[in-house]
Amino acid sequence: MPRPFALAAGMAATLTLPALAGELRAPEDVLQTLIDDNESAYLTQSEQNIMMMPDNAALWTAEEGKELFFEARGPNNKSLETCDLGKGPGVVEGAYVELPRFFEDTGRVMDLESRLVYCMTSIQGFAPDDPEVKQRHGSDSDMMKLQTFIASRSSGLPWNPPMDHPLEKAMRDAGEVLFYRRAGTSDFSCSTCHTNTGNRIRASVLPSINQPHEWTKAISWPAFRVGHQQVRSSHHRIRGCYWQMRQPQSIPGSEAAIALMSFWTDAARGAPAILPDKKR
Going 109 to 276 to 95 to 139, the CA torsion angle's sign is negative
Taking alpha carbons only, the member of 227, 241, 236 closest to residue 278 is 227
Going by C-alpha positions, the residue among 241, 230, 155 that lies closest to residue 206 is: 241
Q: Please give the span between the terminal C-alpha atoms of the chain, in angstroms, as a whole number.
A: 30
DSSP assignment of 141-152: SHHHHHHHHHHH
- 3-class secondary-structure state, position 201: strand
User: 31: closest CA among 14, 46, 15?
Assistant: 46
Q: Which residue blocks in the chain are alpha helix, DSSP H?
A: 27-37, 47-52, 58-70, 112-122, 131-134, 142-152, 166-180, 190-194, 212-218, 234-244, 255-267
Interaxial angle between packed helices 234-244 and 112-122, expressed in degrees from 0 to 180 and rounded to the nearest 10: 130
Residue type, 26: A
Answer yes or no: 190 catalytic.
no
Question: Contact 96/161 with Cβ under 8 angstroms?
Answer: no
Say which DSSP state 78 is in: B
Q: Mind telling me the catalytic residues?
A: 241
